[in-house]
Structure formats: structure tokens, C-alpha cells
Amino acid sequence: MQTPEEYEVSQRIGLLIKGLKHKRGMSREDICCHLGIGMRTLDNYLNGVSSFKLGTLMKFADLCKVKLADILDDTEALSRLYPDNMKDKGSILTLILGSAFGVVIFESTLFILLLVLFFYSYKDKNSQLLTLCFAIVFVLSSIAMFVLQTVIFPAVESYFIENIYAFSIQLSLSLFLLFLLKHRMTIAVILTRGRSPTVFEKNHAEGPLYLLVILLALVDFFALMENFLRNLDRMGVNEESAKVFWEVTFFYDYFAYLKAVPMLLCVLLLYVGLVVRTKRQPIQN
């Protein structure tokens, strides 16, 4: 059994392991491989059943790129590695968004707004079909994330691989939305069977929407590239060279928030475009 002091160190190491998962995409299996111990041995250490060996602690300190004394004394050098401290940086806007929206609340709100807007624009097929493009991609994104969380992620023991799946799917869906917007009229003709001439009319929201979707795609792309960049050592790059990029976690930390603003602006533009068109129609008539 561990002494109270040893158990305190074990709890600290448990937090550091979560930090390694967050920052470097390392699973417990990866960490055990680096330490030269088994999964059960690590669990015994963390649960206080047995004490960490000095050699194991030194290997773990080297894995965290800190000194052994930092782990034993909980110095300032460890603060950046704790998972709770990895999301305390960013702009005021990010902090406001983080407090205003949980991911689930935001997605539910966005879905309701799109649904309301879709039915509200039933008199204008032009705006309705433009809204439909966003609604389709949103539903596909929700389905994809559900499959990832229930099927893929439980079978994958690496945050690095999980992020590749997640960011790649988001990027693919953003590009698919660009495709839908670019070929909106063709799709509209197919869906309406050419019975609604309004689908060929100009929608003033379409240009800004296209730019916002490009921004969404760029966020997805940079998040995916950042995931590779901070895991270069997992792809064969020398660890000394790779560790320079381990701190590159901006898009990873704030991915949902970086996409929240342009997504909300897209909904706002869809509404503005509908209002402008409905006001112009009586004048034209």
C-alpha cells in the first residue's frame, strides 16, 4: 500500500496522464509502452495498491518533459500539463461563447433555428431550398458524430486517431456544403421539378454564406493539420524535433467555439436573405 504522500503523487500522475491524452493523443497503452509496464500495473499504481518504482517515475517525468522533482513537489512546470488548465486560454469572445453554449445546447438550438426557418420560408422556395442545404449537412454531421461516439471511439484507444476521424468528417461535410451551395440551382430544379421559377432568382445572402462556409472548412482543415502537427513523433519524426509542436492546441481546444460564430452567422444570413426577398416580392408584383 502507498503512503499518503505517495498516493498524492499517484493522483497527480493520473491528472498528467489525462493531460498527455489531451495534448499528445496518447492512450494508456501508449503510456504503458513508454514506461515499460503493463496496464494492470499502472492501474495498481494509480489506485494506491502498489508504489511507483523510481525508474518508472523517472521515465514518466521524461515522457512529460519535466524533472522528477517537478512531479514530486507539484511545481509550476506541471500546471500547463494538467487537463483543467489547458482550456483556460483564449479570447474574451471564446470565454463568452464557452459559458453561453454547451456543445449539446448549441447544436440543439441551431437545429431548432434551421427547422423554424425552413418552415417559415415555405412561401419562398429560393430561401427554403438554401436553408435545406444547411439543414441536410447539419443532420449528416449529427449522425456522423453519433456513430463516432458510439461505435468508432470506443474501439480506438488513441485520441490522435479519434481526432483524425472527427476532423476529417467535419471537413468533408463542410466541403459537401460548399458543393451544395455551388450547385444549388441544379439541385433546386431537380427537387421542384422545374415548377418554381423563384429558385433561379438571386439571393443576396448566397455570397456571404459561401464565404462563411469556406471559413468553416478552413477551421476543419487547420484543426486536422494541427492534430498531425502536434503528433509528429507518432509519425516517425524525431521526438526532440516533434516536442516543439506539442503546445499547438488552439484549434483542438476551441474547435466547437471557432465554428459556433460562423454557423450562427449563417443562420442569421439565411433569415436576412428571406426577409429581403419577401419585402421585394410585393414591390416586383
Q: What is the pLDDT of residues 226-280, one digit of tens each?
A: 989 888 877 888 877 887 887 787 887 788 788 888 999 999 999 998 888 887 6
pLDDT higher than 80, residue 100: no
- Tell me the average pLDDT across 65-76: 84
Four-CA torsion 165, 95, 214, 181, nearest 10 degrees: 90
Least confident residue range of 70-84, 94-108, 204-218? 94-108
- List all residues 6 or more positions away from 164 whose beta carbon is below 8 Å from its beta carbon: 224, 227
138-161 as b/e: b if 16+ CB within 10 A = beebeebbeebeeeebeeeebbbb
Cα angle 229, 232, 237 (rounded to 5 degrees) comes to 140
Query: Average pLDDT for residues 164-174, to the nearest whole number?
Result: 94
Is residue 281 very low, low, confident or very high in pLDDT (cuts 50, 70, 90)? low
Contact in structure between 144 and 218 (CB atoms under 8 Å): no
Where does the pLDDT of residue 85 fall: very low under 50, low under 70, confident under 90, or very high at 90 and above? low
Q: Is the pLDDT of residue 155 over 50?
A: yes
Topology classification of domain 4-85: 434 Repressor (Amino-terminal Domain) (1.10.260)
pLDDT of 104 reads: 62
C-alpha 244/C-alpha 64 separation (Å) is 13
Residues 27-54 have pLDDT tens digits of 788 888 888 888 889 888 888 888 899 8
Q: pLDDT band at residue 175, thresholds of 50, 70 and 90?
A: very high
Q: Is 36 left (phi over 0), alpha (psi -120 to 50) or beta?
A: left
In 3-state terms, what secondary structure has residue 2? coil
Distance in angstroms between the alpha carbons of the first and the last residue of the chain: 85
List all residues 6 or more positions away from 108 whose beta carbon is below 8 Å from its beta carbon. Answer: none
- How is the chain split into domains, by residue range? 4-85, 92-284
pTM metric for this prediction:
0.72
Is 135's pLDDT higher than 90? yes
| Contact residues for 35 (Cβ-Cβ < 8 A; gap 6+) | 42, 56, 59, 60, 63
Q: Give the mean model confidence (pLDDT) for residues 204-224.
A: 94
